[in-house]
Chain A
Amino acid sequence: MTQLALIIDLNVCVGCHACVTSCKEWNTSGSAGFMTDENPYSKDPTGTFFNRVQTYEIGEFPATETLHFPKSCLHCEDPPCVPVCPTGASYKRKEDGIVLVDYDKCIGCRYCSWACPYGVREIDETQKVMKKCTLCVDRIYDEELPESERKPACVLACPTSARLFGDVHDSESDVSVTIREEGGYQLMPEWGTKPANHYLPRRKTRMNIHEDELQRADNPLKKEERGPSAPVDAPTLDDSTSW
């Protein structure tokens, strides 16, 4: 079994939104039709996106840390959005685990968006069908593209390589090794959706050495050191004893 997925490294994401724009650019020009933008240059711009980057502040000033958090469909292994769809428009592909919407079957009832706990399904207000990340299914198998470009548009766009793409069911794939070794985790594990996408936590390299450990207390060299001696003008033993 194959389960394609994205791994998002929160340690290196700088929140530049390059993945958001390249995702929109690729997917709005695809054969599935454009992705709506309403009022793009006026008040209250809104539109359909597959991927969004959010920003959070962790902690309390001054001890704060900024977290940039990209979020798109996680291609759950047990996707709650699929069985609820009344038309069968939402489905999970057997061959690679990608969760897709058939835009020709969808009736735009929004029920699947209620059933996704992550809020990544967005109804297209013009086409009136449900849309979500396709993992660039129209790109990753395109043999006309050089092999190195057969990846989702967001992965190619990320300037800090915060996005990895691969098969999380293959234990030896880069992504599986990364999840294993870098502490990859899933979002909202409490619902049993088993998201295929994983996130890598913020990681800091810290020295776990205490200050007094920097000086070796029992250094043998110290044995030959001269012991502390009294100042020259201090009274000697001769001064204080009468023989």
Chain B
Amino acid sequence: MHPAFSVIFLTTLIGAGQGLFLALITGQSYAAVQLLPSQDSTQFYGNGAAIVMLFLIGGLIASFFHLGRPERAWRAASQWRTSWLSREVIVLPALMFLVFVYGVMHYFEWDTVLFTTKEGAKLQVTLVVGIIGALATFLLFLCTGMIYGCLKFLQEWHSPLTVINYTLLGTASGFVLATAFANHNAPELMRFFGIWATIITIAAFITRSASLIRNSRIKAKSTMQTALGVRHNKIQQKAMGFMGGSVNTRDFFHHASAILFKSMKWVFIVLVFIVPVIVIWYGITEANTTVLLTAFVIQYIGLIAERWFFFAQANHPQNLYYQTI
């Protein structure tokens, strides 16, 4: 498939935003049961939610560039019964709304304590909103992953690993960002987020490698023989029916050289997994926000490469019909 930058930015930006939101909720949940010191509502959660919003809005804007007719985008919410894309179109604004409410409540410290247990654990209204938001976050990861995972003849995508990777990669980049953010706004949480960021990045490395291995062994179900219905081992295309290209040649091939395609895999393995883990570790020991932010930026660039490769690797069966001009 042709990797469209609108979709690459959409999925990586909302992934990072969703991950950061999950990090905030994790921090708040730990604080509620007094495993972590609680943080300033405005400074930490309020500003954190604002950053989440920025990423989600960025993703939303990117997605509009993918549409031919963005002015009709509202129609895309209608087919949620059958279409994962439609479901995403509903869940993304819903999540944005929840993040907004969560952020505003924290910012203005409208934070009633619903009840307190004997041990002193507090359930705050914001945490309830946050947990609903966290559910929406996972739902959004599911929708995004399933948009690709549900297409059965794109065999590289048709696997639960697609959803798992979207979830883990997004969460990892959000937690890396949370580490940098915490170092600036809540230093005592920095180590906590840093350790989680490392764990999730390693988990994502395992699942993404699993999908790379799976994809390298895929046996294409469709062949020239089933595409034409001709039983002969030697079939060669002589004409595609046009000479100047068409949507079929533009949208379904990555058009990159074999070397670029191959090297992109190693580029993302290094930039998403290896370098960030080292840089985070260094940033934690130095407690340096710039270093931690660098880790996030490097990983984000790596994720762009990862998404590019994700699309480029998928081989659509229609390509069988478009092999020679």
Interface residues of A (CB under 8 A from B): 17, 20, 39, 43-49, 52-60, 66-67, 69, 71, 80, 82-89, 105-111, 113-119, 122-123, 125, 127-129, 185-191, 199, 201-202
Contacts and interface: CB of A to CB of B under 8 A. Distances in A.
Contacts of B1: 114
A188 B228 CA distance: 8
B248 A122 contact: yes
Interface in B212-229: 221-222, 226-229
A225 to B, nearest CB: 48
Given A119-B248, A119-B322, A129-B69, A107 B228 contact: no
Contacts, number: 176
Max chain A CB contacts within 10 Å: which of B73, B83, B319?
B83
Contacts of B85: 84, 86, 109, 111
Contact of A56 (B67, B151, B238): B238
A128 B66 CA distance: 11
18 contacts: A43-B244, A55-B237, A56-B238, A58-B230, A58-B234, A71-B321, A82-B82, A84-B151, A85-B79, A87-B72, A88-B79, A107-B67, A107-B69, A107-B73, A111-B147, A114-B151, A188-B226, A189-B226
A23 B156 CA distance: 35
A109 B77 CA distance: 13
Interface string B73-113: 10111110011111001000000000000000000000000
A76 to B, nearest CB: 12
A211 to B, nearest CB: 27
Contact of A86 (B79, B150, B247, B321): B79
A185 B82 CA distance: 29
B238 A55 contact: yes
B236 A56 contact: yes
B228 A69 contact: yes
B316 interface: yes
A83 B81 CA distance: 9
